[in-house]
Amino acid sequence: MNRLFLTLLSFLMLLSFSINSSAFANSPQLSPEVEILCNKIEQQVIEWRRHFHQYPELSNREFETAKKIAAHLEGLGLDVQTGIAHTGVVAILKGGKPGPVIGLRADIDALPVKERVDLPFASKAKGIYNGQEVDVMHACGHDTHIAIMMGVAQVMTAIRDDIPGTIKFVFQPAEEGAPEGEEGGAELMIKEGVMSNPDIEAMFALHIDALREVGRIGYRPGGIMASVDDFRMTVKGRQSHGAYPWMSIDPVVTAAQIINGLQTVVSRQVPITEGAAVVTVGTINGGVRSNIIPEQVVMTGTIRSLVPENRPLIHERIRRVATNIAEGMGATVEIEIPMSTSYPVTYNDPALTGEMVPILESVAGKGNIELVTAETGAEDFAFFANKVPSFYFFLGGRPSDIAPEDAADHHTPDFFIDDSGLKLGVRAMTAVALAYLKANKQEGK
C-alpha cells in the first residue's frame, strides 16, 4: 500500500509539473530593451566580480563587501537597509505597477582557503577564523553571485516603471556558516525580519557551478540540496596503562565500534530509494601518549538527508546505535545533534519550478537547460525555501575548453570561474523575476 501511494504521488507531482510548465511554454524572451541593458552592463558585472574576488571577507566579517554593495544600491535610488544579520544588505525596489513581492538572494561571504590560481585579481587577503589567522578566498563563487545580483538590480531599476510588484534584493552574509559562538546567515536574517515589511511571497537564487559548462543551467524540482546537521559524540570510559587494557573501559575501541555501527544507519535503516542520506565521521580525537588508554574520545561528523521526513529518523537511529554500542562496551556516550550547524533540505517548489523552466529555456536555449540529480551538499537558502515557495538553480561557470574532470571543485585552492558566464546569470535572474511578477500581477496588493 505504501509503495502504491508513493508511485501515485510521484505521478501526480510529475503531472502537476508538466501542466505548470506548459502554462509558461510560450513565454516570450526578455524584451529587446532588457537584452540591451544586460549586454550593456556585462563588463561592469565582470569588474565587480573581480573586485570582490580580490578582496574577499569571511562570514559575518563582510564589512567592506557590504559597503560596496550598499553604495551601488543607494546610487540606484533604492531603499537600502544595512547591518541585517551583522553585515547583510537589503534593497527594496517598488515597481511602477501593483503586484506581488519577491525576494532575490545572493550570498556574499568567502572561505578560509589560500588561492592557488594565477590571476591578476587573485586574492591575497587574510582574515581571522575561529581565533587563527587564515588566507581568504572566494572559493565557492559568492563573488559572482554578488556581481550578478548588483547587475540585476541595475537592470530592474532601469525598467522599474514597467515592473508589476516589488523586489527585495537580499545580500546575505555567512552562508558558509557563522564563526563559533555567533549566529548568522539566512536563519538570522529571517529572525530579524527580512521576509516581512513588505512580506515576500516567493524567493529565487542561483549558484555558480565550477563543474558545469558556461552557458548551461541545472535545475531540479523538490529537494535539490540536502539538509545538514553536524554532530559531536563524547565517548567516556576508564583510563588505564596501555599495557593493562583489561583494567580500562577503552573509549578508543568503543569509538571505533561506533563508527562501524554508524555505517549501518544509512545502508540498513533508512529507505534510501526515497532519497539519499549520508553519515560521515570527520574527526576523532583522544589520548596523549601511545601507552595510555585515555578516559574519553571525541568525534565529530556530518549528517545529510534529501528527504525531510528521514532527517529525524536518522538522528534517532544514530543515537540508538551509538548508545547501545557504548553500553555494550561498558562505556557511555554523550551525543549532540546538531553541534552547531543545522540546515533543512533546499526545496524547490515543484509548481514554481515548472513555471520557471520554460523561462530559463527562453534565455539560455532549450538544449542548455538540464534536470540534475540532487546534491548532498547543503545550502542555507533552505531557510528561505522553508518559508515561501522558492526556486534555486545552478549556473555554469566552467570554461568550454576545460573537461569536467579537469575542473577544480568548489572550496579548493584551484577553484576557477569563467567570467563569460556572468551575463547569462543576469539574464536568467532578471527573466525569472519578471516572469513571476507578470504572471501574478493580478494577485499583488
Cα–Cα distance for residue pair 247/251, rounded to 1 Å: 12
CB distance 27 to 435 below 8 Å: yes
Cα–Cα distance for residue pair 152/203, rounded to 1 Å: 15
Residue 94 sits at the vertex; the CA angle it makes with 67 and 44, to the nearest 5 degrees, is: 45
Task: Calculate the alpha carbon distances from 36 to 76, 139, 378, 387, 401 in Å.
Answer: 18, 31, 36, 35, 28
Cα–Cα distance for residue pair 64/70, rounded to 1 Å: 10
DSSP letter string over 73-113? Answer: HHHTT-EEEEEETTTEEEEEEE-SEEEEEEEEEEE---BS-
Cα–Cα distance for residue pair 280/271, rounded to 1 Å: 18
Residue 442: what pLDDT? 64
Collapsing DSSP to helix, strand or coil, 121 comes out as coil
| Mean confidence (pLDDT) of the chain | 93
Residue 76: what pLDDT? 98
Residue 269's nearest CA partner among 310, 226, 221, 229 is 310
Cα atoms found within 13 Å of the Cα of residue 388, Cβ hemisphere only: 18
- Which ranges in 365-395 belong to alpha helices (H)? 382-385
Cα atoms found within 13 Å of the Cα of residue 64, Cβ hemisphere only: 12
Question: Residues 204, 224, 411, 229: what is their CA dihedral angle, to the nearest 10 degrees?
Answer: 110
β-strand 227-236 against 342-343: which pairing, if any?
Answer: antiparallel
Catalytic residue numbers, as ranges: 109, 175
DSSP 418: -
Residue 5: what pLDDT? 40
Beta strands in 149-295 (DSSP E): 164-172, 202-213, 217-219, 222-225, 227-236, 240-241, 277-285, 292-293
Residue 274: what pLDDT? 87
The size of the chain, in residues, is: 445
Cα–Cα distance for residue pair 154/75, rounded to 1 Å: 10
Which residues lie below 8 Å from residue 283, measured CB to CB, with a gap of 6+?
298, 299, 300, 301
Residue 260: what pLDDT? 98
Low-confidence ranges of the chain (pLDDT < 70): 1-29, 442-445
Peptide bond into 294 cis (omega under 30): no
User: How many angstroms separate the first and last alpha carbons of the chain?
Assistant: 44
Residue 386's nearest CA partner among 253, 200, 241 is 200
Residue 224's nearest CA partner among 354, 368, 429, 372 is 372
Residue 301, all three cell numbers: 561528523
| Domains observed in the chain | 23-225+345-443 (3.40.630.10), 227-342 (3.30.70.360)
Collapsing DSSP to helix, strand or coil, 376 comes out as coil
| Cβ-based neighbour number of residue 294 at 10 Å | 21
